[in-house]
Amino acid sequence: MDNFTVGVVVFPGSNCDRDVSWALEGCLDIRTKYLWHESSDLSDVDAIVLPGGFSYGDYLRCGAIARFSPLINALDEFVKSGKRVLGICNGFQILTESGFLPGALVANKNLNFICDDVELDIVSSKGGWFNNVDEKQTIKLPIAHGEGRYYCDSDTLKKLVDNELIALRYKNNPNGSSFDIAGITNEKGNVLGLMPHPERACDKTIGGTDGLFTLKSLILK
Amino acid sequence: MDQFAVKVFVRLRPSVLDPAGEATKSASIKLGAEGIKSLRIGKIIEVKIEGNGENEVREKIDLLCDRLFANTVIEDYEYSLEKL
């Protein structure tokens, strides 16, 4: 695993890229490389994180402009090859806008920007992103978003439930998300998008370590 | 080449809750406006575009609406087109 490298994508307006890199390098000793959004060469990296922030100022819709970057265009082949992609917050919004994950993220029901720690039920072990092989578990992660209300139509929701694609559900739904959804995977399980920030829960001194497992699981094959 | 002025209207689908619309409705009632049954907020995108005739321009605008201006998971769109 010495050479395993996680690419951390940097868009204009990303602001969690350094947090992700700090958590991977400093807490988990996993090598990272920043990938500028105009790069389409993903040959040096073994997994990719789309970090939180406000790519392109959230113009038009969150994640809508980022979708057209050269890097996101190159992501299709990367995902098809089975390599792992983690989209956190704005990264999750980009993954839905670009069609890697179904549904969309819209303004919170109460219109507030919510910055809080939330309890989450892990409801699927697909992709091995969470430490819940034996039973349902609850973790606590920070959220920080104004547009984190997951929305999908009833047919899509049924598909998500039937195929065990719902990874995380809020215990106390903070934003009005359909079915309390906080994170989902694609059918293969190698793409995870979630609104909570695992990179902000990787050290006891800043409030918890429940995010470590998800970041560490980037190195799974 | 003909030039057209296009007005694209993007709005949340009826099934998607519009909290900004709800908040504005509440403020409208506080202002004293009576009889408001519903209020929803959308956006207008104004485009000036060249093309060989209306059909070609419509094709371009359809693509833009479907792929960029609106997210059809949550939004509907329609547009009007005027030859300049």
Model confidence over A145-203: pLDDT tens digits? 999 999 999 999 999 999 999 999 999 999 999 999 999 999 999 999 999 999 999 99
Q: For an interface test with B, which of A94, A106, A114 has the most B Cβ atoms less than 10 Å from its Cβ? A: A106
The structure tokens listed for A68 are: 């057209």
- Asked if A111 has any chain B CB less than 8 Å from its own CB, the reply is yes
- Asked if A106 has any chain B CB less than 8 Å from its own CB, the reply is yes
- Which residues in chain B are contacts of A149 at CB distance < 8 A? 17
Cross-chain Cβ contact B73/A107 below 8 Å: no
Beta bridge partners, A84, equal: A47
Catalytic positions of A, please? 89, 197, 199
- Asked if B77 has any chain A CB less than 8 Å from its own CB, the reply is no
The structure tokens listed for A128 are: 């091995």
Nearest one of A34, A106, A90, A86 to B19, comparing CA atoms: A106
- Asked if B74 has any chain A CB less than 8 Å from its own CB, the reply is yes
Burial of B13 (0-12, 13-18, 19+ CB in 10 A): middle
Tell me what ipTM this predicted complex has.
0.84
Report the phi/psi class of residue B53: left, alpha or beta, with left for phi > 0 and alpha for psi in -120 to 50. Answer: left
Mean of the per-residue pLDDT values of chain A: 94
- Asked if A175 has any chain B CB less than 8 Å from its own CB, the reply is no
Cα–Cα distances in angstroms (integers) from residue A46 to residues A2, A26, A57, A200, in the given order: 12, 18, 28, 22
pLDDT at A134 over 80: no
Residues of chain B with confidence (pLDDT) below 50 = none
Q: What's the pLDDT score for residue A221?
A: 74
* Chain A nearest-CA residue for B71: A97
State mean pLDDT over A105-125. Answer: 94
Q: Which amino acid is at A217?
A: S
Cross-chain Cβ contact A108/B19 below 8 Å: yes
Enter the pTM of the model. 0.92
A48 contacts A23 by C-beta, under 8 angstroms: no
SS3 string, A3-41, reads CCEEEEEECCCECCHHHHHHHHHHHHCCEEEEEECCCCC
Cross-chain Cβ contact A111/B16 below 8 Å: no
Q: Which amino acid is at B2?
A: D
